[in-house]
Amino acid sequence: MTYEKDFLSIKDLTFKYEQQIYPVIDGLSCQIPLASRVAILGLNGTGKTTLLNLILGVLKPDRGDIHLVKLSSGISLINLNGVIGYLPQRENIPFNYSVNEYVLLGRLPYIPMLALPVEEDNKVVASALAALNIQDLGEKMLSEISGGELQRVRLARILAQQPDIILMDEPATFLDIKNKKSLYKLINDLHCQGRTILFSSHDPLDVQEIADFCILMNKSKRTIMIDTPSLLKNNLLTEYFETPIRV
């Protein structure tokens, strides 16, 4: 099925780490409409981060390709500077940076080499902090804030990049119930702005609120993509999570 609107095309995607016998991802083909929300679901260790890194271009597939299809032409994502924002599950945090300085790193794709940020960059940073209700943290050092606050600051850095496609690896990590709900609202707000959101999770219970499609991953099963309403009408979550699940 080919969508009339622009979409992210994944064809026959296959990848195996050198030390493993079987592929982590084997022959995944799907089309993700732009401006949609996609949850990548599966138990820990099933390849969710691997899939995000393949889309990002950090890993090279053994077979298959990933392209952004716009106006009937295929564009490699690697060749599009700043179009993808990525929130990794783990990263080396420069704790000697202030929150404002760290979020400003999201503007690097737009700042010429050896140039300084301009007023527009500072405005985008302020807007990103306000969107996550952490504008009061701007002058604090990263070493002075909590784990939940740091997670929202990391999200602000992604928003400051103003990407068209946002990849998030376990974005709800370290967030309490209140801030998790704020994250879900942010995902829906970004969706309303026309952004494409792909995020990984091992908690499928809230997908009906924040996902149009789900990609299901399991070590012993084929990776598949399904629209969320159809997913909630069958037993696939129980099969892929290997435990009874009812949403």
Phi, psi of 25 (to 5 degrees): -125, 130
Angle at 246 between CA 243 and CA 247, to 5 degrees: 130
pTM (2 d.p.): 0.87
Q: pLDDT of the chain along its 247 residues, tens only?
A: 444 578 899 999 999 999 888 899 999 999 999 999 999 999 999 999 999 999 998 999 999 999 888 755 556 655 555 688 999 988 889 899 999 999 999 999 888 888 899 999 999 999 999 988 899 999 999 999 988 899 889 999 999 999 989 999 999 887 888 888 888 888 998 899 899 999 999 888 888 889 999 999 999 999 999 999 999 888 999 999 999 988 7
Up-side HSE of residue 50: CA atoms within 13 Å toward CB? 22
